[in-house]
Amino acid sequence: MTKKNKPEEAVEQVAEATPPKERTTRKKANLDINPAHLKQVAETALPKERATRKKMNLDVNPVYLNRELSLLAFNRRVLSQAEQHHIPLLERLRYLCIASNNLDEFFEVRIASLLASGRADGLTDDSPALIEALQLTSVECHQLVDRQYSILNKEVLPQLSANGIHLLSDGNRSEAQRSWVKSFFEQEIRPLLTPIGLDPAHPFPQVVNKSLNFIVEMSGKNAFGRHTSIAIIKVPRVLPRVIRMPDSLSPHGISFCLLSSIIHAHIHELFSGREVLSYSQFRVTRNSDLWVDEEEVKNLRQALQSELQSRQFGVAVRLEVAKNSPAHLSDFLLNQFAIAPNRLYAVDGPVNLVRLSEMIDQISQPNLRFPPFAQGHPAYLTSSTAEDIFSQLKKRDILLHHPFQSFQPVVDFILSAAHCPDVLAIKQTIYRTGMNSDLMEALIFAAKRGKEVTVIVELMARFDEEANINWADKLERAGAQVVYGVVGLKTHAKLALVIRRERDKDGLGMLCYYAHLGTGNYHPNTTKLYTDFGLLTANQKLAMEVNEVFMHLTSLTKPKKMDYLWLAPFALQKEIIRAIQNETEIAKQGHPAHIIAKMNALLDESVIRALYAASAEGVKIDLIVRGACALRPGVPGLSENIKVRSIIGRFLEHTRIYYFRNKLQNDVYLASADWMNRNLFRRIEVAFPVLDKTLKKRVIEEGLSFYMKDNTDAWELHSDGNWRKCKPRTRQAAFNAQQHLMALLGAESKTHL
């Protein structure tokens, strides 16, 4: 059993559990937290959380919020968007799909990781340590799933129906519609189904990760006189999950039916001569992390290509069945997949809500969607010619704020380099880029033209491995030098470099460096959906340091000391903590000190401790954290000067910004890294300064100030670990940061930044 600790015992455990080397480092850096503060937190700040965990027989950590619960809280905020009546109806359905997809990934990665780490330590699902970790998430996950289907069935689908969009079950279809569905089943579905009756010669089939399947129970004997009561139907992924019915059969709007609903209606026809007693659709979620022994493999790409095939059959971590599934069938499946009962989800609808996005794509009613938005484009970039882009960069750095401003100038930058006869080399990192990419085609074109093209492709970018492998192959065939980063470290930095031969004022030849540094991926789709900053620069010192990063990644030599870039895993965490401690010292001297940071996740304990120490000395700290946050704000004596908020809006917040007041020098860094241990020590990441004062002002205003002012899409984190939605105060005007940026930077704006 887990030992229950008094607050002072918990304090001692925190200190003793810290590894000796880290304790020494923290002592030198003065990052240890006053035990009295911990005791105060445990005794007074957390009554609700302490009561909840006491019911679950779990201890309260007075310092850090739980990572898994924080991730689920983020998903609850996303799900909340589906409940907002001011949001167009199809967008509310899309938020349901996003929340469902997030939960899928939570099981595929986080729950799978908990189970895998437990098994690596010799634990089983019955081990107290694993029970404690899984209990923290089980109740919340079940509540989230129940809420998802409640919103779908009680709000979204009825309102869609009122707008002439009908998702029809068999009981709601007219006779003419049933006749059409029967014909569709016979012609399009049945020929592709292969029911498998289970017996010694027909063992339980391999079930693919997150695929649609049915379990069927039958009476009597099979055609060979044997008692075989259970059959499995695997539904091929080539079949559409949402089918639009002919408009001639939908006089009152548009009608759809789910593939699962059609199979439900005709499942008896698959077992002639047998009586179907009961059945249920089901879906299994599996561990989707890829693993290769990077120390042993000779060719990482070939090893990954093989491993991708096995991803579909990783360890099962969750089972979803229909709400009316008989208990004995659910128990049979749980036993078959070795899944604990608390990871069974009986859902009131289709087992995969993500598939409803197929319905969204088939509906054209603009009043049910967000109003169309046209991205802005800097006025001085009127052409994509080589001379234009490079001459413009000679005059000024160019800051692009996506998706409010188009990503096209970045594509034009690489296209111009590929066509320019004076460009000698192009170097770029690729983490996610998608299956179709003009930018990748430009690199291939440049390589074929004989330019020195070096591309660092991260093959281990989760769920983008296949696309990246394909691009790596195409680039190599075109003559590019393709490198797969550093063994054991993901290359997550967003960098592109162009080296061009130019002539100085005396007519002598020289090499000039141009760079793009960003917070987001080189992906044509996400640049329209994710908020990110990108900087195009001809600053030679900064661009030459970008080249040093590429030299480090290709040669595997130790990087040179850099004056501008903060590079992980070597210096990024150290520089972040140094900047935090600098603000702390400024506050100790009685001067105003302020830190603002925006990121996707805040989990690194050393950084959090540095922030706690800064808060205790009076540094004002504002954090904008989209997802998981382990820091506990607003605790007297520990974090009373720290505020944490999260923005959930039309676009996915993805920007990483670090701001330090530093006696009004207003240091601003943009980065590819969140403040997580994996980003700071297990990835190649880069944080880069914004040096131009005008652009620095833009980043502070557009990326931070507007988001601190938001009172419609913002949530605030309280010391008890709960998030609360912000609302305009009495007589306060509503302000939405994303909408304001769309008006400020979009194509219709009069601003040309």
Looking at the structure, tell me whether residues 612 and 504 fall in a common domain: no
Residue partners of 655: CB distance under 8 A and separation at least 6: 519, 520, 531, 532, 533, 598, 670, 703
Looking at the structure, tell me whether residues 400 and 291 fall in a common domain: no
Looking at the structure, tell me whether residues 509 and 426 fall in a common domain: yes
Looking at the structure, tell me whether residues 692 and 576 fall in a common domain: yes
* Residue 549 belongs to some domain of the structure: yes
Candidate list 37, 266, 401, 492, residue with the active-site label: 492
Confidence of residue 251 (pLDDT cuts 50, 70, 90): confident
CB–CB of 662/585 below 8 Å? no
Q: Is the dihedral of CA 638, 643, 648, 651 positive or negative?
A: negative
What CATH number did the domain enclosing 458 receive?
3.30.870.10
Looking at the structure, tell me whether residues 614 and 656 fall in a common domain: yes
Instruction: For residue 309, give Cα distances in angstroms to 252, 331, 458, 465.
Output: 45, 28, 18, 11
**Euclidean distance between CA atoms 622 and 703, whole angstroms:** 13
Last residue of a domain, one of 512, 546, 564: 564
Q: Tokens at residue 249, please?
A: 């059969």
- 654 labelled as ligand-binding? yes
> In the predicted model, what is the mean pLDDT of residues 195-211?
85
CB–CB of 287/256 below 8 Å? no
* Residue 109 belongs to some domain of the structure: no
- 102 labelled as ligand-binding? yes
425 vs 202, more confident: 425
Tell me the residue range of the domain where 674 lies: 567-745
From 681, 656, 659, 680, select the one nearest 670 (Cα to Cα). Answer: 656
Pick from 105-109, 400-404, 479-483 the range whose average pLDDT is largest.
Answer: 400-404
* Candidate from 32-46, 208-222, 432-446 with smallest mean pLDDT: 32-46
* Candidate from 303-307, 350-354, 453-457, 715-719 with smallest mean pLDDT: 303-307
Q: What is the pLDDT of residue 386?
A: 46
Last residue of a domain, one of 324, 340, 368: 368
Last residue of a domain, one of 564, 597, 617: 564
Model confidence at 24: pLDDT above 80: no
CB–CB of 624/646 below 8 Å? yes
**Euclidean distance between CA atoms 456 and 152, whole angstroms:** 43
Q: What is the pLDDT of residue 300?
A: 54
CB–CB of 694/628 below 8 Å? no
**Euclidean distance between CA atoms 462 and 447, whole angstroms:** 27
Q: What is the pLDDT of residue 615?
A: 97
34, burial (CB in 10 Å: exposed 0-12, middle 13-18, buried 19+): middle
Q: How many CA atoms lie within 13 A of 38 on its CB side?
A: 21
pLDDT tens for 547-600 read 999 999 999 888 888 999 999 999 999 999 999 999 999 999 999 999 999 999
* Residue 75 belongs to some domain of the structure: no
Model confidence at 391: pLDDT above 60: yes
**% of the chain residues with pLDDT over 90:** 69
From 678, 670, 673, 595, select the one nearest 633 (Cα to Cα). Answer: 595
748, burial (CB in 10 Å: exposed 0-12, middle 13-18, buried 19+): exposed
> In the predicted model, what is the mean pLDDT of residues 79-88?
96
* Residue 491 belongs to some domain of the structure: yes
Q: What is the pLDDT of residue 127?
A: 56
Q: What is the pLDDT of residue 299?
A: 55
CB–CB of 76/87 below 8 Å? no
Looking at the structure, tell me whether residues 484 and 572 fall in a common domain: no
- 462 labelled as ligand-binding? yes
Model confidence at 3: pLDDT above 80: no
Count of structural domains, the chain = 3
**Euclidean distance between CA atoms 40 and 23, whole angstroms:** 22
Q: What is the pLDDT of residue 5?
A: 38
Looking at the structure, tell me whether residues 461 and 549 fall in a common domain: yes
**Euclidean distance between CA atoms 516 and 427, whole angstroms:** 10
From 8, 16, 58, select the one nearest 37 (Cα to Cα). Answer: 8
Q: What is the pLDDT of residue 346?
A: 97
Confidence of residue 117 (pLDDT cuts 50, 70, 90): confident
**Euclidean distance between CA atoms 18 and 11, whole angstroms:** 11
Looking at the structure, tell me whether residues 462 and 511 fall in a common domain: yes
pLDDT tens for 25-54 read 444 444 555 555 555 555 544 454 555 444
Looking at the structure, tell me whether residues 703 and 724 fall in a common domain: yes
Looking at the structure, tell me whether residues 475 and 393 fall in a common domain: yes
385 vs 587, more confident: 587
Q: What is the pLDDT of residue 21?
A: 42
276 vs 13, more confident: 276
* Residue 25 belongs to some domain of the structure: no
Instruction: For residue 470, give Cα distances in angstroms to 309, 463, 644.
Output: 15, 13, 41
Q: What is the pLDDT of residue 40?
A: 53
For tokens 């949001």, name the residue.
Answer: 87
**Euclidean distance between CA atoms 685 and 671, whole angstroms:** 8
* Residue 520 belongs to some domain of the structure: yes
For tokens 């909840």, name the residue.
Answer: 52
pLDDT tens for 694-711 read 999 999 999 999 999 999
pLDDT tens for 600-646 read 999 999 999 999 999 999 999 999 999 999 999 999 989 999 999 99
468 vs 104, more confident: 104
Tell me whether residue 401 is one of the annotated catalytic residues: no
Model confidence at 4: pLDDT above 50: no
> Three-state SS for 536?
strand
Q: What is the pLDDT of residue 558?
A: 86
* Residue 145 belongs to some domain of the structure: no
**Euclidean distance between CA atoms 261 and 322, whole angstroms:** 12
307 vs 436, more confident: 436
Q: What is the pLDDT of residue 124?
A: 52
Looking at the structure, tell me whether residues 315 and 421 fall in a common domain: no
Q: What is the pLDDT of residue 23?
A: 44
Q: Is the dihedral of CA 386, 392, 398, 401 positive or negative?
A: negative
For tokens 């169309």, name the residue.
Answer: 372
693, burial (CB in 10 Å: exposed 0-12, middle 13-18, buried 19+): exposed
**Which residue type, as a one-letter code, is found at position 111?**
I
Q: What is the pTM of this model?
A: 0.88
What CATH number did the domain enclosing 355 receive?
3.30.1840.10
Model confidence at 1: pLDDT above 70: no
420: left (phi over 0), alpha (psi -120 to 50) or beta: beta
pLDDT tens for 328-373 read 999 999 999 999 999 999 999 999 999 999 999 999 899 999 999 9
From 402, 389, 397, 405, select the one nearest 694 (Cα to Cα). Answer: 397
Looking at the structure, tell me whether residues 624 and 664 fall in a common domain: yes
* Residue 100 belongs to some domain of the structure: no
496 vs 134, more confident: 496
Q: What is the pLDDT of residue 469?
A: 81
